[in-house]
């Protein structure tokens, strides 16, 4: 069972996708390889989602419990670690939060998905898990007591037994990295000191001793699994196209400015008489070298060329495939853009309605439930352990997660866009105020008050543009051009 757990996560849904899009190589016929340039689009999308989905703070109706919870979160540096772990959740499909006791304090453990494995479920939710960590130590062993490298793999089991929650640690020791080795629980204290318990920890609580938070994405790779799936495992082929496009564009920007053309004959293999080795005079597969054929066998003179850059076409193609990936992960098209100079997010794409807003709400609701589970775990464990300070009782309904107001960041952009719509006569003036949350009646009053104030100011400065005055000067309603002069009696149309 332990070996199966370790090997299973070598190809987990999230990890496999992460390695696939981050470890691309090119291979030439002579065996040379280099890392392909990547746009790091999954990293950018992950940061974009995290930036717009961030809980500012949880609230509890019980003020005393609120104060103690704030102190516990501050002691665990929860805000920063939660944000960092959330980004790994997007890539790997999920994350775990567990706890341990340290000098009479409730401490949180933040565990990435590639270090955890759900062992049992109950009512469709995780009820047991094992967390994996590895430590490498140099120890004296063998003949002559020479220093050798040993790998210690710690399996931390969380399970339910007789209506109680058990946490148990098993340590395995091996002299090779690929093998789990033999169980050596008597080495726990020597390797970890007092940080890891050598005995079973029993908790008389009604909920698991860990919290599992997964992406709000259906796991279509394993419909029977309750594990999450990485946000980029399904659109991985589209991400590969993005990286291919970025790679081609990068090569063209760097190499198309100046390249050398070599005749085909100049790339023949020859024998180096000094070393008696066959060598190539010019490597035709090296970047920046294009081989051309010539009928003149005796002409081996290189030629320099400078092809014209096609940067606009490349940028257009690049942004097209970026939109394809964005739509696949629930981000509305246009949110991510490369303008030929920089690659980033477009703030105007974050609006109150649309794919992006819906995706953000899904992550908010999902993570909010997870944070609430952590708070409830803290309450139950603290009240069941004599070594921990008690926490005032409260229910799940007493917990409220306050989310950052992301839409407010883009209000100025949205206001400017609404002004342009009205100036282009594509919407009435009332549209601007209803978009700000005002009722049509209140919006009408605001517009009338603004018009009255504007009229008053114009009259104070000596201008008159009322309909009555305009009609008296042009009773037939025909348009006629009136020249502006410095005469105070001249009407301005």
Model confidence, pTM: 0.66
Rounded to 5 degrees, φ, ψ at 201 are -95, 125
d(CA 151, CA 361): 43
pLDDT digits (tens, 9 = 90+) for 459-480: 776 554 444 443 444 444 454 4
As given in the structure block, the two tokens for residue 111 are 């565990």
As given in the structure block, the two tokens for residue 357 are 């807003």
pLDDT at 62: 85
Look at 136-150, 308-322, 331-345, 392-406 and tell me which has the smallest mean pLDDT. Answer: 331-345
Question: 212 has which bridge partners?
Answer: 96
pLDDT digits (tens, 9 = 90+) for 333-348: 777 777 655 566 654 4
pLDDT at 450: 87
d(CA 72, CA 375): 10
Q: Where are the domains of the chain?
A: 2-235+357-403, 428-473
Specify the higher pLDDT residue, 169 or 289: 169
pLDDT at 493 over 60: no
User: How many other C-beta atoms lie within 10 A of the C-beta of residue 270?
Assistant: 10
pLDDT at 225 over 50: yes
pLDDT at 3: 45
pLDDT digits (tens, 9 = 90+) for 50-85: 887 766 678 888 888 899 999 999 999 988 888 888
C-alpha distances (whole Å) from 165 to each of 92, 346, 378 are 27, 48, 14
As given in the structure block, the two tokens for residue 423 are 């100036």
pLDDT at 266: 55
Percent share of the chain, pLDDT over 90: 16
């Amino acid at each position: 069972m332990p070996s199966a757990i370790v090997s299973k996560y070598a190809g987990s849904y999230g990890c496999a996708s992460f390695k696939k899009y981050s470890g691309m190589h090119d291979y030439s016929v002579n065996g040379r390889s280099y890392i392909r340039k990547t746009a790091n689009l999954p990293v950018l999308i992950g940061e974009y989602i995290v930036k717009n989905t961030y809980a500012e703070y949880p609230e509890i109706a019980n003020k005393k419990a609120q104060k103690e919870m704030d102190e516990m979160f501050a002691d665990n540096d929860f805000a920063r670690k939660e944000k960092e772990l959330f980004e790994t959740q997007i890539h790997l499909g999920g994350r775990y939060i567990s706890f341990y006791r340290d000098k009479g304090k409730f401490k949180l453990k933040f565990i990435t998905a590639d270090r955890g494995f759900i062992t049992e479920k109950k009512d469709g939710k995780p009820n047991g898990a094992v967390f994996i960590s590895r430590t490498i130590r140099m120890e004296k062993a063998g003949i002559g007591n020479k220093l050798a490298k040993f790998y210690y793999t710690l399996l931390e089991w969380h399970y339910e037994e007789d209506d109680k929650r058990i946490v148990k640690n098993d340590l395995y020791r091996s002299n090779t990295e690929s093998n789990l080795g033999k169980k050596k629980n008597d080495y726990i204290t020597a390797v970890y000191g007092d940080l890891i318990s050598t005995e079973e920890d029993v908790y008389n609580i009604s909920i698991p001793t860990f919290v599992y938070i997964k992406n709000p994405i259906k796991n279509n790779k394993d419909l029977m699994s309750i594990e999450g799936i990485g946000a980029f495992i399904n659109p991985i082929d589209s991400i590969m196209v993005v990286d291919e496009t970025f790679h081609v564009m990068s090569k063209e920007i760097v190499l198309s400015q100046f390249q050398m053309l070599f005749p085909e004959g100049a790339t023949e293999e020859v024998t180096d008489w000094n070393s008696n080795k066959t060598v190539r005079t010019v490597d035709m597969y090296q970047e920046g070298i294009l081989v051309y054929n010539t009928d003149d066998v005796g002409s081996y003179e290189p030629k320099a060329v400078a092809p014209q850059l096609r940067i606009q076409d490349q940028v257009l193609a690049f942004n097209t495939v970026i939109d394809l990936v964005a739509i696949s992960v629930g981000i509305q098209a246009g949110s991510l853009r490369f303008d030929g100079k920089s690659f980033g997010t477009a703030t105007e794409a974050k609006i109150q309605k649309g794919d992006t807003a819906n995706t953000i709400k899904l992550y908010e609701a999902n993570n909010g439930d997870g944070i609430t589970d952590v708070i409830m775990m803290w309450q139950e464990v603290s009240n069941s352990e004599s070594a921990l300070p008690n926490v005032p009782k409260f229910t799940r309904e007493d917990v409220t997660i306050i989310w950052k107001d992301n839409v407010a960041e883009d209000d100025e952009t949205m206001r400017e866009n609404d002004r342009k719509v009205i100036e282009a006569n594509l919407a009435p003036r009332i549209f601007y105020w209803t978009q700000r949350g005002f009722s049509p009646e209140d919006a009408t009053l605001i517009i009338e008050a603004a018009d009255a104030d504007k009229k008053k100011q114009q009259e104070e400065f000596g201008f008159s543009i009322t309909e009555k005055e305009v009609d008296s000067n042009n009773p037939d309603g025909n348009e006629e051009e009136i020249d502006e002069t410095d005469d105070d009696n001249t009407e301005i149309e």
